[in-house]
Amino acid sequence: MQVMPINYYIFLSVALFTIGIVGVLTRRNAIIIFMCIELMLNAVNVLLVAFSKMHHLNAFAADQLTTVGTEAQLFVFFIMVVAAAEVTVGLAIIVMLYRNIHSVDINFLNRLKH
């Protein structure tokens, strides 16, 4: 199978992450910001899986039965678990917010100042 340099995955991840940040910065819709955060999480996941693969391949040459790299993939799994829980609660908060102020514009959420 074709070997891909790890750098490609790093740059992909960095690009996705930056796009997520730009999204968080430019948008005022709370839901879109939330989605951009998910995008950033996924960028990190890609990177974790890529590194897991890299380490696994390096160990694989010496030992066909190695399990090096499993932890990173499990980590990604747990990130997804936490993200799912987070989304549930986050969306519930946004719904309640909308119910109270009839908007999801974060510029109305400036009560932190007080």
Where in 58-77 is the site for other proteins (CB under 8 A)? 60, 67-71, 73-74, 76-77
Whole-number minimum distance, CB 13 to other proteins, in Å? 9
- Distance between CA atoms of residues 30 and 38, nearest Å: 13
Reported as type and span, the H/E element at residue 67 is none
Whole-number minimum distance, CB 34 to other proteins, in Å? 8
DSSP 108: G
> Position of tokens 């747990």?
78
Window 10-49: residues binding other proteins (CB under 8 A)? 10-12, 14-29, 31-32, 34-36, 38-39, 42, 45-46, 49
Site for other proteins contains 54 (CB under 8 A) = yes
